[in-house]
Structure 1
């Protein structure tokens, strides 16, 4: 282990910034691999404890994260999903082929009512992604009416016939998904016309305020975002209230799409490439925000990162179309870095959804049919950061910092942090990204009296450490004991490759 690097972080606890929306901690559940079936949903005949087929230990684990919203049914699957096939008696529902993910047969047993029941069990708001690629305007308009209208109408009568008397509140609606790719391979101009049309016919019923999210760009395709903004506003103008947000997708893939690398077998250079790629999300969000600022200087239109996370080669012996991967300490550090960036962009960035919640990509949980359930390192980052939900961000200045690490012409900042205040408490999140050296960090706390503090630490001896059925506690939070009082606030020592939170009583 190398000698500790010295750092000082100035935190202005009395200078409020934008609110960190709890929706930045959103989740994503696609009909992909074992995310829905054998993840969330096991069926009512399962021996595992369930409610209406929804696996209850999964619900219990996720409720501990205070999940704010859940996006469904995709992803690429959304643009081949016809919701009418997923309502009514399950035995009568027609099946389909999931051509995007493994070419498997989908029986539609998990549909609209099951999804809404899941959201109610989780205490999460529903984010429904409509079908623009292979669907119709009428189909999506009917779905909104089916879910959210009371009184009497054809869709209301159909919903009541299927056992739900009162409507649900469904605030978030995605207008297609990745229209530039699996959602239709459209040009930006072609999609813009569809987005405006679909958004127009997604009506608001009985006080259910819709937050319509136009399918946005991949990575740093700023031209796509500009096309959407130009369609509803002029430079320096006031956007028309057609859709309320624009999405963007960004995955941390340090390798190539054909050879992404292993989730658990990697070297130090692979780690650095991963973190440099993850760090680049700041540049990407800045670019899209800058374009949006030109057409929406008052920031009325939200930016939504509704797919993000690491993407590795699938685990050996699993279906390549199921995207099942392990989740190591490295993944957790990608998440903690991302959240610090999200907090800095909280004035424009209103929602983010990790891909995905169970058994797919950078999952919170890994399950098996025999009843096994593993909390991943990434799960613990979400749990440790709960105090930032709907809290007020405060300025964080890394006055003294470790020397950035340079690799292949790019640099990685080795320390990242963010902080927020809510009620009489503050939460400080700090990540030491150095794989070999600890960091001695002074939290220079200004603008408030600190009456007490409590720290937690997430790390492991190796970056490759991960939780499994055989060792579910390999990477779990422990108390951060190496904290002392300093003339300027607190001094803490972070081990290599570690994430810590410090809660302050103000």
Structure 2
């Protein structure tokens, strides 16, 4: 295999850091029982040798959504041999066999998709409790390596390719889920949206030489500022449709809010640890239509806009987060 790699233009070994051993082995990856998979994992990871300078990070196949027994069994039997345990959860409007349309949806379907996405908080919490029983030192991380909206494929496309359009509703799913991940930063080490281009909740759609950016792309663009930051505990009076993340990095505070309500703007006040100066970044993703999306005929229908409604006084930041919007702010520390 090394000779084959060299013959194809890469004589040096690939610098692989993360290795998942098996994928969805509870389903299409083998229809295994957790007891059987744990033994197979233990066997296969034995032969994943350590050759490079950096330690290889081994990820075991974790549960299907709320299969808490899977987590308990695999952690008990194979926990010492893994660095991470995976978790998959897709947001749905209904059952798997009744997936809703990606663009033509009702208010109830908006709410049901968001409610499905919010279950990620419960799943992470419950699986972490099972992991803690066999790993009280939190050595093993939770790896949410598949998540996002799973809706009907676009009419006229190959159903097997899972091509679906991406609207403002998907942006709400993305921001809500990222806020959940940030909330559980002590356990969630990695979180990968299912696919990036043309499949499920994509950030980029292409058609031949054409390319467009989806509403989900802009959420990731705003939330990138939270990477490598320190999460801050923050509290604000909020409705059930508002989620948020507050963090600190490089002398700045980063605040992100998602108001997934279809009807109500949400006033927010956050008190930061120190006084702040001017905003160095203030953007909003918002449209009046719930199913607003970009097309190849109108690729800039949904874009980031400047947000001017935030006010800072001392350590307090006040703003009103419009319905169906995602806002990210950065403030200099005084």
TM-score, normalised to structure 1, is 0.64
User: Matched residues in 1 for 2:11 and 2:114: separation?
Assistant: 49
**1:431 positional shift:** 0.9
Q: Does 1:455 align with 2:270?
A: no
Q: Counterparts in 2 of 1:237-256, with a 5 A limit?
A: 240=80, 242-256=81-95
- Per the TM alignment, residue 486 of structure 1 is displaced from its structure 2 partner at its CA by 4.2
CA distance in 1, matches of 2:210, 2:100: 26
Alpha-carbon distance, 1:254 to partner = 2.0
1:191 equivalent in alignment to 2:37: yes
Query: Counterparts of 1:179 and 1:366 in 2: how far apart (Å)?
Result: 30
Contact conserved, 1:365 with 1:374, CA < 8 A, in 2?
yes
Contact 1:385 1:501 in 2 (8 A): yes
**Map of 1:78-477 to 2, 5 A cutoff?**
155-232=1-78, 240=80, 242-369=81-208, 371-398=209-236, 400-402=237-239, 413-445=240-272, 447-453=273-279, 454-477=281-304
- For the structure 1 residues 187 and 438, does the alpha-carbon distance in structure 2 shift closer, same or farther, using more than 3 Å as the test? same
Counterpart CA distance in 1 for 2:8 and 2:108 is: 55
- Structure 1 residue 165: deviation in Å? 2.3
**Do the aligned partners of 2:287 and 2:302 also contact (CA within 8 Å) in 1?**
yes
State the match for 1:111 in structure 2.
Answer: none
- Work out whether residues 276 and 312 of structure 2, in 8 Å CA contact, stay in contact via their aligned partners in 1: no
Q: State how far apart, in whole Å, the 2-side matches of 1:479 and 1:219 are.
A: 38
Q: CA deviation at 1:458?
A: 0.4
CA contact (8 A) 2:241 2:261 kept: yes
In 2, are the aligned partners of 1:170 and 1:208 still within 8 Å (CA)? Answer: no
Following superposition, the deviation at residue 156 of structure 1 comes to 3.0
Contact 2:238–2:266 (8 Å) recurs in 1: no
Q: Is the 2:141–2:187 Cα contact (8 Å) retained in structure 1?
A: yes
Q: CA deviation at 1:255?
A: 1.1
Of stretches 306-315 and 432-441 in structure 1, the one that deviates more from structure 2 is: 432-441
Distance 2:87 2:172 in 1: 21
Q: What is the count of residue pairs matched by the alignment? A: 332
Tell me which residue corresponds to 1:493.
320
Gaps in structure 2 of 5+ consecutive residues: none
Counterpart-to-counterpart distance in 1, 2:312 and 2:147: 37
Greater shift in the superposed pair: 161-170 or 296-305? 161-170
Q: Write the distance in 2 (CA, Å) between the matches of 1:160 and 1:473.
A: 44
- Provide the TM-score with structure 2 as the length reference: 0.96
Distance in structure 2 (CA, Å) of the matches to 1:486 and 1:279: 32
- 1:346-384 CA-to-partner distances (Å, cap 9, x unmatched) read 111101110111000000100011x11010000000010
SS in 1 for 2:96: coil
Q: Which has the higher contact order (CA 8 A, sep 6+)?
A: 1
CA contact (8 A) 2:276 2:314 kept: no
CA distance in structure 2 between the partners assigned to 1:397 and 1:494 by the alignment: 15
Structure with larger Rg: 1
Cα displacement string for residues 438-461 of structure 1 (whole angstroms, at most 9, x for unaligned residues): 12222222x212122131100111
Unpaired runs of 5+ residues, structure 1, are 1-154, 233-238, 403-412
Q: 1:460, 1:474 within 8 Å by CA — same for their partners in 2?
A: no
